[in-house]
Amino acid sequence: QQQVKQSPQSLIVQKGGISIINCAYENTAFDYFPWYQQFPGKGPALLIAIRPDVSEKKEGRFTISFNKSAKQFSLHIMDSQPGDSATYFCAASMSNQGGKLIFGQGTELSVKP
């Protein structure tokens, strides 16, 4: 029930294309869903986050779509660039559990020029 399942494991997209990464969760008590971007040798960097009372959130080329009834959320990267090549992690947490983030397994994105 504490798991967050992420797919695909790896993704290859052409420059200018749309990258889509999906996550699913079971625990309906989760109320905060962030996405992190991690480059090799670096710590994860917070990209964008959403709460379940919102169905979509957009920041620049990054959009989170949230489907509360399906218990799924996804990250869309529009106009993907080679500089977006990194590992992306979705996560979930509950407000009453403070800073405990449950992470998906990660998606390695490669954007080809």
Partner 1 sequence: KAGVTQTPRYLIKTRGQQVTLSCSPISGHRSVSWYQQTPGQGLQFLFEYFSETQRNKGNFPGRFSGRQFSNSRSEMNVSTLELGDSALYLCASKAGAGNEQFFGPGTRLTVL
| DSSP type of residue 101 | P
> Closer CB to partner 1, residue 43 or residue 83?
43
Binding mask 28-67 for partner 1 (x = CB under 8 A): ----x-x-x----xxxxxx--x------------------
Of residues 39, 25, 42, 40, the one with CA closest to residue 101:
25
DSSP 16-49: TS-EEEEEEE--TT--BEEEEEE-TTS--EEEEE
**Which listed residue (18, 58, 97, 112) binds partner 1 by CB under 8 A?**
97
**Which listed residue (35, 104, 109, 111) binds partner 1 by CB under 8 A?**
104
- What is the smallest separation between the CB atom of 14 and partner 1, expressed in angstroms? 27
Of residues 57, 50, 44, the one with CA closest to residue 93:
50
- Interaction site with partner 1 (CB under 8 A): 32, 34, 36, 41-46, 49, 89, 91, 93, 95, 97-106
